[in-house]
Amino acid sequence: MSQLNNVLVRVENAAKTINLDRQTLDTLQGFKMVWTCDLEAGMDDGSLRRFKAVRIWHRSPHVDQPHKGGIRFHPAVNEEMMKAHAIEMSIKCWLMNLAWGGAKGGVAIDPVQHSIRELKAVTEKLVDEMDERNILGPFRDVPAPDVGTNPKIMNWIRQRYAQRRRHMEDTHFAGVVTGKPVGYGFGGLLGRNEATGYGMTVVLERILRDSKFGDAYLRHNPSTVAIMGFGNVGAHFAQFIKEKFPIFKIIAVSDINGGVFNQEGLNIHKLIEHREATGSILNAPATESISNDELLELNCDILAPAALEKVITSDNADRIKAKIILEGANGPTTPEADEILRLNNVLVIPDILANAGGVTVSFFEWARNLGIKDERVPLAYTEHVLSRLSEMMTASTDEVINIAQRHKTDLRNAAYITAIQRAAPLFRSKHLTD
């Protein structure tokens, strides 16, 4: 099944549990905008090269509010996958009480194969094409970093968007994108870079402490952690989980080239230093090599997939030995795998809850850029940002736990139900005014 089908099945399951009306379900499964384009960008050798670009807006009941979602630079970017992630973004925003519609997009490009100048040319072309079709804007569509993109690329988006309106007196250009660098004139917010990994630890802690969900796992004294993906999400999660639970041992981490393992626990700071020095986590001192497939099937308590989608499927779910799967990536587990994991008593903490920290702090950044008054927006210091994020994620996790208990269902279905129940009345009232 495609990633899009996986998400549609999940929306449908939640709709069935709460007897959602057909019209609202149809709306939830539809898209407001599907944009694809062949970008032509100049390469260092003077040639022009063409790349497929995609941007999707999921349906949203929030009139006059932007669509929100990451921009991915990865060879596998395509329309179907971006549609799946756009729906997940809506669900995530509604779950976190953010009045945004979901979006997702990207460029089918392998960033590792290109120079900084080439990546900048591709980014600027993307902004030009999106802007010419009136897609971008602080109240239309606000991108953020995702796989293969980062604060530097977000800053190129901000700069290009501002350049294209040089003649206009508008101070709000920074609000066109989030996840920007922090510093004078960039408009980024301290804590945004760390937010997704930090949020994962907040949700994990809350669930471990819950008397119904977590008790069984706490009794077992969870202590060993394996993390697939050591980019923004995986590496920050690794650092924060050690801070929050010093007794935990991170026994394995990996990236696209493979992983490293130490049963006694990896030294994450040393690993980051090794990566900075050599460009890779591989062959770090005091580690053994391990493949990504082996990492997924390691004997550990907590497995955090934090790279790409569909890595836990019906092919390997039966061999997963972790007690808890904490989804940092979007869509790492298929619905068939969910069922096998449920039968094997593995607790899955779903992506739409576990990794919602990034979009929540993006909301703080955007609201500050635009001077929007919202009592939830914290002061611009890391500790204020992360502490407000923690309050909001704990509240959403509590709600998901309550819904799961009320409907006797799993955390993923409960998270979808929580989000859909928030948006459904808004869709119904929108139908009346459309």
Return the number of the residue (28 or 356) whose C-beta is nearest ligand NAD: 356
Return the number of the residue (98 or 307) whose C-beta is nearest ligand NAD: 307
Looking at 104, 125, 242, 323, which residue is catalytic? 104
3-state SS of 320-366?
Answer: CCCCEEECCCCCCECHHHHHHHHHCCCEEECHHHHCCHHHHHHHHHH
Return the number of the residue (145 or 191) whose C-beta is nearest ligand NAD: 145
Shortest distance, position 196 Cβ to ligand NAD, whole Å: 4
- For residue 306 the two structure tokens come to 């934090």
The CA distance from 382 to 388, in Å, is 10
Q: State residue 185 phi and psi, 5-degree precision.
A: 90, -15
Rg (CA), the chain: 21
- Interface residues with ligand NAD (CB under 6 A) are 70, 145-148, 196, 228-234, 254-256, 292, 306-308, 328-330, 355, 358
Return the number of the residue (75 or 265) whose C-beta is nearest ligand NAD: 75
Asked if residue 66 lies in contact with residue 137, where contact means CB atoms within 8 angstroms, the answer is yes
- For residue 360 the two structure tokens come to 């929540």
Q: How far, CA to CA in Å, does 76 sit from each of 1, 110, 136, 309, 369?
A: 16, 9, 23, 11, 32
Shortest distance, position 20 Cβ to ligand NAD, whole Å: 26
Return the number of the residue (150 or 409) whose C-beta is nearest ligand NAD: 150
- For residue 137 the two structure tokens come to 């804007």
Shortest distance, position 145 Cβ to ligand NAD, whole Å: 5
- For residue 96 the two structure tokens come to 């976190």
Asked if residue 272 lies in contact with residue 242, where contact means CB atoms within 8 angstroms, the answer is no
Which residues fall within 8 angstroms of residue 375, CB to CB, at 6 or more apart?
none
Q: In the annotation, is 104 catalytic?
A: yes
Q: Give the residue carrying structure tokens 């309050």.
A: 391
Shortest distance, position 269 Cβ to ligand NAD, whole Å: 17
Shortest distance, position 351 Cβ to ligand NAD, whole Å: 7
Count the neighbouring beta carbons within 10 Å of the beta carbon of residue 321. 14
- For residue 74 the two structure tokens come to 């990865």
Q: Which residue is nearest to ligand NAD (CB)?
A: 231
User: 408: phi > 0 → left, psi -120 to 50 → alpha, else beta; which?
Assistant: left
- The upper half-sphere exposure of residue 375, i.e. CA atoms within 13 Å in the direction of its Cβ, equals 1
Active-site positions? 104
